[in-house]
Amino acid sequence: MSDVAIGLDVGGTKTLGVLVNREGVILDELKSSTPHDAQGGAGAATGKVLSEQVATFAQRHELDLATLPIGIGMPGMVRRDGRLAFAPNLQTVSGASFPELLKELLGSELVFMENDGNCAALGEYAWGAGRGVENFVMVTLGTGIGGGIIADGELVRGQSGFGGEIGHMAVEARGALCGCGGYGCWERYASGGGLARLTFEWAAEGRLPQLVELCGGAQNVRGEDVTRAANEGLVEALTLMNDVAWWLARGLANLVAILDTGHFVIGGGLSVVADLLLPSAREHLVDFTFGYDRRPPIVVVTSDLTVHAGALGAAKVAFDRQP
Ligand SMILES: [Zn+2]
């Protein structure tokens, strides 16, 4: 059994690789751009980037590729057999089998794939803000909402491996169109992308008059302008952030109703403004949650592992699934 594993977190723009020991300590780290190049078949360009990172780690640390466990976190629907069924934000890799590609390129035998949100949940469960918490949900607020569910101490993988796609839970059945083709998905309201969309709408509707003036037109107001202004105390920006928190709490309350979870770990890009979101989300949760006062207090905290959650979790997958 190897004392170290590699975790590779493939994002829409960047791929982050880490070399990790069994205590979850990052020994080395690499960052590359994620290619969006369809040449050579499904995932060939991405497979090349991954194999370069693995080869670099192996060379720097004199590791044996045949026995080195490797975990890959992918943004998309990852089948239990490790094949990627569908990656809406990374179309060129849909259908790819990275375990096969890495075996071909490097002779790697121990390569395992998992959805990136599920990886983040496993990372936080092992070494982060979900440590020792047998029932919690990881909620990654990026362009969309990713996540992973830990129930009774186990990752919920589901029938095919597609479990935990919490961002596509409908919270407004006739609401905004989502990238998945559905309407009113949670991620269109409570993510960084949701904030951007609401900002655009509110600016056009005249609900952000000071920001529109400051930015020189309704079309120029961005989500970042709203968070900056909210941090400075501008009331209209705080009102919009409270609306995002309201939507966030809507989805969290649904998850509580279904899973009876009492603990949420919030990560992703938007979690840098957790101070603007979480206090009011916690308040809304009191109103939205079925039987709130019959439950222990619901904990909503930010991620400990932040940008490394997915890569660390991918390494954990590699440690856990190697035969
Ligand atoms: Zn959707």
User: Is residue 181 located within the same domain as residue 92?
Assistant: no
Domain span holding position 203: 133-303
Task: Judge whether 258 lies within some domain.
Answer: yes
* Angle at the Cα of 31 from the Cα atoms of 27 and 36, rounded to 5 degrees: 145
CATH number reported for the structural domain that contains residue 92 in this entry: 3.30.420.40
Task: Judge whether 126 lies within some domain.
Answer: no
Task: Judge whether 220 lies within some domain.
Answer: yes
Distance from residue 9's CA to the centre of ligand 1 (Å)? 22
pLDDT digit string (tens) for 196-212?
Answer: 999 999 999 999 999 99
Distance from residue 153's CA to the centre of ligand 1 (Å)? 27
pLDDT > 90? residue 287: yes
Distance from residue 145's CA to the centre of ligand 1 (Å)? 9
The answer to whether 243 and 284 have CB atoms below 8 angstroms apart is no
pLDDT digit string (tens) for 26-59?
Answer: 999 999 999 988 888 888 999 999 999 999 999 9
User: Is residue 79 located within the same domain as residue 177?
Assistant: no
Distance from residue 165's CA to the centre of ligand 1 (Å)? 9
User: Is residue 150 located within the same domain as residue 241?
Assistant: yes
* Angle at the Cα of 278 from the Cα atoms of 175 and 166, rounded to 5 degrees: 45
User: Is residue 146 located within the same domain as residue 294?
Assistant: yes
pLDDT digit string (tens) for 65-103?
Answer: 999 999 999 999 999 988 889 887 788 888 888 999 999
User: Is residue 274 located within the same domain as residue 317?
Assistant: no
Question: What pTM value is reported for the model?
Answer: 0.95
User: Is residue 144 located within the same domain as residue 266?
Assistant: yes
User: Is residue 85 located within the same domain as residue 178?
Assistant: no
Phi, psi of 127 (to 5 degrees): -135, 10
